[in-house]
Amino acid sequence: MAGPIRVVGSLNMDLVVQVPHHPGPGETVLGSDYATYPGGKGANQAVAAARAGAQVEMWGAVGSDEFGRLLQENLEHNGVDTRHLRQLEGPSGLALITVDPGGQNRIVVSPGANGRYLPEHLPPFTPAALLLLQLEIPLPTVQAAAEQASAQGIPILLNPAPIVPLPGSLLRRVRYLVLNETEAAALAQSPVETPEQAQKIAQELQKHGIPAVILTLGGAGLVWADGEESGHWPAHPVEVVDTTAAGDGFCGALAACLAAGGSLREALRFANAAAALVVTRAGAQPSLPQRSEIEAFLASAVETA
Ligand code: RIB
């Protein structure tokens, strides 16, 4: 695979509050002081891949506000190429996040500029090692990017988050589908409560013509199915502080390893370790590990897969 990893997706500023428990309907909960972290699934995956050693470019949009400037600067600071990032009039994407003592989060996203990033804003496609897509920008933009990538033979990794009904024409273009249990249950319209159920769904989803399906299961690890093999990989036992961006850290590290010529098995092992590190730290992008940290973690980990 030649060229950079291209991420076409969202950038958000995350406003995060630690809470004793997530509020129920009509309930007010007093939480911690708020923290502000750069986030957004697209930008998180771009930074994760860059920290994992890949050359990365980010296509998407920020708003004309102060958050937009900070989000762009932060990507540049992480070595991500932002030449094709657009600035669109109005607010940037914003995410309101609460995190409970178990590290579980609730996220509300105000799309801002991400929601105004349309197919006509996409630059002409040039060669790339891999295209990384999520669903925090309009679906027609995702579809247009996927069309252009497949016309050029660029493999596509789709992380369908947040999940919406997906057209078969998009799924058929995907080389790697990476989704969590909630997204898989919505897509397959079937519960995913055990690794065995997840395995079955991964195999079912493959019937849409997707060569590799990977389901991330939080503390239960991951399952995957590709044409030749399928399996279950347990999660590393770690102390969970904040699960925000665990999936993004996984996708970015997976993409970096695949783009460097790694096999799917090698990439899954690397990404599983990256996700384990992410959940031990607070915030979205501050929690994403460097390649050296992932390698050191793997060198000392007890692996059972
Ligand atoms: O996946 C985590 C991300 O989801 C957060 O950074 C937030 O911005 C939302 O996009």
Q: Residue 305 — pLDDT band, cuts 50, 70, 90?
A: low
Q: What is the pLDDT of residues 225-239, one digit of tens each?
A: 998 788 999 999 999
Query: What is the phi/psi pair of residue 89, to 5°?
Result: -55, 135
Q: What is the pLDDT of residues 81-123, one digit of tens each?
A: 999 999 999 999 999 999 999 999 999 999 999 999 999 999 9
User: Mean pLDDT over residues 138-152, rounded?
Assistant: 98
Specify the length of the chain in residues.
305
Cα(first)–Cα(last) distance of the chain, in Å?
A: 27
User: Mean pLDDT over residues 179-187, rounded?
Assistant: 94
Ordered domains of the chain (ranges, CATH): 5-9+39-86+114-300 (3.40.1190.20)
What positions carry a catalytic annotation? 248
Query: What is the Cα–Cα distance from 63 to 303, expressed in whole angstroms?
Result: 44
Q: Which atom of ligand 1 is nearest to the CA of 105?
A: 2
Please tell me the predicted confidence (pLDDT) of residue 1: 62
Mutate to test the pocket of ligand 1, among 248, 279, 281, 287 (most ligand atoms within 8 A of CB): 248
Please tell me the predicted confidence (pLDDT) of residue 237: 95
What is each CA distance from 186 to 110, 132, 141, 168, 180, in whole angstroms? Answer: 22, 21, 22, 15, 10
Please tell me the predicted confidence (pLDDT) of residue 304: 66
Mutate to test the pocket of ligand 1, among 7, 10, 11, 12 (most ligand atoms within 8 A of CB): 12
| Predicted confidence (pLDDT) at residue 250 exceeds the cutoff of 90 | yes
When mean pLDDT is compared across 37-41, 66-70, 206-210, the lowest value belongs to 206-210
Q: What is the pLDDT of residues 277-294, one digit of tens each?
A: 999 999 999 999 999 999
Contact 90, 64 (CB under 8 A): yes
Query: What is the Cα–Cα distance from 220 to 113, expressed in whole angstroms?
Result: 35
Please tell me the predicted confidence (pLDDT) of residue 157: 98
| Predicted confidence (pLDDT) at residue 216 exceeds the cutoff of 70 | yes
Q: Residue 208 — pLDDT band, cuts 50, 70, 90?
A: confident
Say if pTM beats, i.e. exceeds, 0.75.
Answer: yes
Residue with CA at minimum distance from ligand 1 atom 10: 40
